[in-house]
Structure 1
Amino acid sequence: MDTRSSSPEAATPSRRRFLKAGGLLSAAALAPGLTTGLAQAATVRPRATAGDIVMADAIDLSGWIRRRQVSCHEVMTAFLDHIDRINPKVNAIVSLQERDGLLKQADERDRQLRAGQYLGWMHGLPQAPKDLAATAGIVTTSGSPIFRNYVPKQDAIIVERVRRAGAILVGKTNTPEFGLGSHTYNTVFGTTGNAYDPSRCAGGSSGGAAVALATRMLPVADGSDMMGSLRNPGAYNNVFGFRPSQGRVPFGPSSEVFYQQLGYEGPMARTVTDLALLLSVQAGFDARMPLSIDQDPRSFATRLKRDFKGARIGWLGDFNGYLPMEAGVMDLCREALKGFEVIGCQVEEARPDYAMEQLWQTWLTLRHFLIAGLASGLYADPAKRALMKPEAIWEIENGLRISGADVYQASVQRSKWYEALRKLFQRYDYLVLPTAQVFPFDSVIHWPTEIAGRSMDTYHRWMEVVVGGTLSGLPVINVPAGFNAAGLPMGLQVMGPAQADLAVLQLAHAYEQATRWVQKRLPALIA
């Protein structure tokens, strides 16, 4: 495996000249009134190559489009050519749309720019929503053969918002069936390979999104997270994945708007700045979703730089030995904590006053309850049930046996967990723990059945480390933590207090500047 230190700016001399001339987007995409001089000056700058385009950070690429240094047609062509080269090796993007139609949409974006119609910072950027998110006019399978030919008539809210901001949908990103499990494979499209070793698991359920990001087939990506599905694939592919505060990104439209509070959507990106910009599009109140947060999402499209001298971080680790960890995970994550110390943080051991085994039982009850509610109608049809994977059937059957009193008591326990964390946040500004308990494993294995000699009693027990973040409803981001001796990535979860999404992003940004893992280690497929 190629372990060379590499960065996008080192790719070619022409790219170095172009990046130096173009600079960061800064106000260019966010304050159109400031861009007139930039657009005029762009005429003397060198043109970007296709390699420049696909390797660029989203904030830079957006600025180049806004200043018309590159056309939307050129951007679309570069990405589609790159997808043609890379995607067959990893199988991250599915339901890829016809090239001619996509180029026509890109041409329309160029016409809009010439007419002074700028839709937003995603104007002309290619996007591929996760295959759980409804996309009007594009097949949405949810990774299930039951929905192999299902074409929604309405977009999911996050899809509505990126389209409105100017994005062009090139296809979808692969996901496990119904998003169940942290390993991206299904019988419709097959398995998605890890960006750093395609024979390994890509994580999930946003595995396709993370791999497409890491291999530069998308500038930014969306995902969803019930059991670490933004965090785990972020860790496994050396990118950032953010599970925002409960209600930050409206999850719908949906026939049920009050109880679906375990899984919701959020952004993924190769830089925290890009991630925050995508969140500024995804977030914000929607009257169809009454529990969505009514705060101005533009607050995320601001400078993230902040002083962290003296900030207090509580290291949760493996919860004092409760969680089994593959050899090397804890050592790598402890080493990665130095990235927080470099920026001035104080890190110390922390332990919540809560029985972690109780948290797992709480998780099982609430997850069974929700999945049974969502999919029991499919289960009731014998023909459709025959097409469902065993793990989905197991979840539904357990859910059908749960009583209302069981669900209420699980919610009480979830509330006690939130209170235990709230007390920790009276002492610490942030909490940190590993993102996964094992490194990316052989992709032919459905799920690890043992960790460090301890048997895993369910298909998802090996990802128990993410359950605390999910049940808390608090903002949690995966940040890259480096690589083991075999060149396989790992990550750290950074959790903040209730609705402190911006503060979590600011810490992640400072850590990113100190560590630069995304830039240091490119996937061998593109290095």
Structure 2
Amino acid sequence: MGALAQSEAMAAGSLSAVELMEASLGRIEAANRQVNAIVSLRSKDALMAEAQAADAMPRKGWLHGMPMAIKDLADAEGLPTSMGSPLFAGQVAQTDSVFVGRLRATGAIIIGKTNTPEFGLGSHTFNPVHGATCNPYDLAKSAGGSSGGAAAALACGMVSVADGSDMMGSLRNPAGWNNVYGMRPSWGRVPGEPEGDMYLHQLSTSGPMARCPRDLAALLDTMAGPDRRQPFGTSADATLPQMGGQAATMRIGWLGDWGGAFPYADGISALSEAAVGQIADLGHEVADVPPPFDAGRMWDAWITLRSFAVAGGLGALFEDPEKRQGLKPAAIWEIERGLGLSARDVQRASEARSDWYRAAMDLFDRVDVLVLPSAQVWPFAVEEVHPTEIVGQAMDSYHRWMQVVVPASLIGLPVVNVPAGFGNDGLPGGLQLIGRPGGDAQLLRLAQQWHEATHWPQVRRP
């Protein structure tokens, strides 16, 4: 059952929180030892007691009695927040992150955490604290990242909705690789944390994951809304009430491989183009779109601003020689790059970012939604750190193989990953549906129409 269906059944009295908790813990017992998606799981006795209490009290909201696990980059009071780093292993959160507090206020029961790469760096979920998360469709493959634990838990039926976060595809890549939905909302729709710098590093956002777009919309509406302690928050109408009815005809722009700038593993283009053809069959106008901006300039701006942000967040750990030993190579690479940047370097990157935003807004005068694959490769061997080449083209960094997600990330566009089907080896792939700023509801309507035509998470279970 989807999350809204479970919620409606509990509201009607045909399902209890105790029954749902028993079923969820049963799925975790059956599958989690194989995929390692949920970590820091609370005791069964404590969770069953909380479910019993939920059944005995008035409903707080649509998530009342719903088991949820929080990505191990966010704080959930009373649970460890390791961020996949041995430097923080066992550190117990004293408060909830902003969106986690909103989930609890709506009745969610927090059962544990979902696995993530160290500090969320890299689109492959492994770390020295909790180990690697395996892909439910092939346990020898990666589940993606950094929301790999959340995506695998959804695919296996351990939870019905989950949170994720996304700087460089961390909601989109794992959703695509696990045959579920993941949404990066318009930047500012879901607030971050009222701590540290809140002005300079506008790259990452939290967002919802689910097995259907209606559940995405419901969870987004719970997570979203300004926090008065933070700048740049945006208000918007709830998305779930806008999900009814037939989606209007949309102009869809297929960006392909961005004029050859994005190398794709064999089969990625074929799967993506077949899915784009299915979108056209739903009655939408689909057209090829030539590269709307220089990919090299965009990439240079991205890695500059990303390293600047990572160095700002992790620089204090790097400056402590003892703690530096606990950082993984990707973190050290990012921090060293960030510390070596000049103010002029950052300014040039911001100018390129601004130019791309202006070009994108011109493009959205001609199309409603842009489409790209969610990843440039298929899930790779779980013991690998990252792909080093794609069809013979060497990757010059630990994250170059995910360049396809940068156009949306750099300027904070909303994106929904929709499952696109399976390759010849049985591994899932996804499509990015990219919208204009504030176009979250429009994307969700299109994703729901796609879901009703395909039902990939239900048709092809792991």
| TM-score (ref. length: structure 2) | 0.98
2: distance between equivalents of 1:99 and 1:334?
46
Aligned to 2:371, what secondary structure does the other structure show?
Answer: strand
Q: 2:340 aligns with which of 397, 401, 405?
A: 401
The residue type paired with residue 200 of structure 1 is K
Q: 2:448 aligns with which of 506, 509, 512?
A: 509
2: distance between equivalents of 1:109 and 1:290?
35
**What stretches of structure 1 of length at least 5 have no aligned partner?**
1-55
- 2:71 maps to 130
Q: 2:394 aligns with which of 413, 438, 455?
A: 455
Q: 1:431 aligns with which of 370, 387, 399?
A: 370
Q: 2:120 aligns with which of 161, 179, 197?
A: 179
Q: 1:246 aligns with which of 171, 184, 187?
A: 187
Aligned to 1:128, what secondary structure does the other structure show?
Answer: strand
User: Against the structure 1 CA distance between its residues 465 and 66, is the aligned structure 2 distance closer, same or farther, given a 3 Å change threshold?
Assistant: same
Residue 89 in 1 paired to residue 34 in 2?
yes
1: distance between equivalents of 2:235 and 2:6?
30
Give 1:260 deviation, angstroms. Answer: 2.7
2: distance between equivalents of 1:309 and 1:119?
34
Q: 2:236 aligns with which of 295, 319, 324?
A: 295
After superposition, where does 1:181-260 map in structure 2 within 5 Å?
181-260=122-201
Kept in 2, the 8 Å contact 1:305–1:510? The answer is: no
Deviations 1:483-521 (A, max 9, x none): 011100000000111111101111111111122211210
Kept in 1, the 8 Å contact 2:247–2:445? The answer is: no
Aligned to 1:146, what secondary structure does the other structure show?
Answer: coil
Kept in 2, the 8 Å contact 1:224–1:265? The answer is: yes
Between 1:155-164 and 1:344-353, the stretch displaced more is 344-353
Give 1:254 deviation, angstroms. Answer: 2.3
- 1:272 maps to 213
- 1:11 maps to none
The sequence identity of aligned pairs, in percent, is 49
1: distance between equivalents of 2:198 and 2:262?
33
Residue 68 in 1 paired to residue 13 in 2?
yes
Between 1:419-428 and 1:306-315, the stretch displaced more is 306-315
Between 1:284-293 and 1:363-372, the stretch displaced more is 284-293
Deviations 1:256-315 (A, max 9, x none): 21123101100000000011000110001110122111234xx22215144446421110
2: distance between equivalents of 1:309 and 1:386?
54
The residue type paired with residue 91 of structure 1 is N
2: distance between equivalents of 1:162 and 1:260?
25
Give 1:180 deviation, angstroms. Answer: 0.0
Q: 2:227 aligns with which of 286, 291, 316?
A: 286
Q: 2:203 aligns with which of 240, 257, 262?
A: 262
Larger Rg: 1
2: distance between equivalents of 1:211 and 1:246?
25
| TM-score (ref. length: structure 1) | 0.86
2: distance between equivalents of 1:160 and 1:232?
26
Q: 1:471 aligns with which of 410, 417, 426?
A: 410
Aligned to 2:241, what secondary structure does the other structure show?
Answer: coil
2: distance between equivalents of 1:402 and 1:507?
41
2: distance between equivalents of 1:452 and 1:408?
34
Kept in 1, the 8 Å contact 2:177–2:429? The answer is: yes
1: distance between equivalents of 2:284 and 2:221?
27
Give 1:387 deviation, angstroms. Answer: 0.8
Residue 163 in 1 paired to residue 108 in 2?
no
Kept in 2, the 8 Å contact 1:480–1:489? The answer is: yes
Aligned to 2:410, what secondary structure does the other structure show?
Answer: helix
2: distance between equivalents of 1:96 and 1:401?
40
Residue 100 in 1 paired to residue 55 in 2?
no
The two structures, once aligned, show a CA RMSD in angstroms of: 1.0
Deviations 1:389-448 (A, max 9, x none): 011000001100001111111111001111111111111111001111000011111100
- 2:460 maps to 521
Residue 77 in 1 paired to residue 22 in 2?
yes
Kept in 1, the 8 Å contact 2:242–2:441? The answer is: no
2: distance between equivalents of 1:254 and 1:443?
35
- 1:340 maps to 279
2: distance between equivalents of 1:301 and 1:511?
16
2: distance between equivalents of 1:82 and 1:303?
32
**What stretches of structure 2 of length at least 5 have no aligned partner?**
none
Kept in 2, the 8 Å contact 1:309–1:343? The answer is: no
2: distance between equivalents of 1:306 and 1:401?
52
Deviations 1:206-226 (A, max 9, x none): 000000000000010000000
Kept in 2, the 8 Å contact 1:272–1:508? The answer is: yes
Q: 1:110 aligns with which of 46, 55, 58?
A: 55
Kept in 2, the 8 Å contact 1:342–1:514? The answer is: no
